[in-house]
Amino acid sequence: MSHYTKEHLFSVVDHTLLKPEATWPQIQKLCDEAMEYHTASVCINTCYVKQAAEYMAGRVPVCCVVGFPLGAMDTASKCFEARTAIENGASEVDMVINIGRLKNGEYDAVREDIAAVKQAVGDHCLKVIIETCLLTDEEKIKMCDIVPEAGADFIKTSTGFSTAGATFHDIELFAKHVAGRCKIKAAGGISTIGDMEKFLDLGADRLGTSRAVGLLTAE
């Protein structure tokens, strides 16, 4: 028997549709489901933020991705994208770090990139995607310091567009090394209710998945 209610599981899900071919009717359906099941947010690309925010009229927060999915654009571009999204009605921004700079050991540059986007979004929630599948454990642990130091609200595992998604090992690692300094989001490849529950048990505060409604409403 699950120790989480379906309502609780929905309440921690960023209901996600980030495919490049996503149409407005598909985004609309995502929003309808989010409003029906009271998800934490809808997570979408920035081109649909204004429409989705107007469509839902404050009933569910709009989350969007910035510098996605590579993270390899310059900081000013990420900041512009984030600021525009907030102006268009986004409540939350999920940005991708500069992975190459992290690999170079340019930790200050990685921190400054995140801090600049946090400044651009102000009081709004900033989640930082570190793309765990491309990192060593040492690099992940380093990001557990950099993300909270930069003032971001969440550390997040994955874009869902690289070689793998969230793993239990990564969420355990985050929980240990973040040590309460920021929240944790598991995203990418979450495919069962059991996965959802285990990620929460291990310390995730939020789950990013496109599958939650299908999983939780299946008889």
Q: Which residues are catalytic?
A: 94, 156, 185
- Could you give the CA distance from residue 186 to residue 166 in angstroms, rounded to a whole number? 6
Closest Cα partner for 147 from 125, 130, 171?
Answer: 130
Task: Using DSSP, state whether 44 is helix, strand or coil.
Answer: strand
Cis peptide before 61 (omega within 30 of 0): no
Contacts of residue 208, defined as CB under 8 A and 6 or more positions apart, other chains included, come to: 13, 14, 16, 43, 94, 156, 160, 185, 186, 187, 188, 190
Sign of CA dihedral 12, 194, 167, 27: negative
| Cβ-contact 129, 95 below 8 angstroms | yes
Q: How far is CA 106 from the centre of its chain?
A: 23
Q: Which residue type, as a one-letter code, is found at position 158? A: S
- Cα–Cα distance, 24 to 41 (Å, whole number): 17
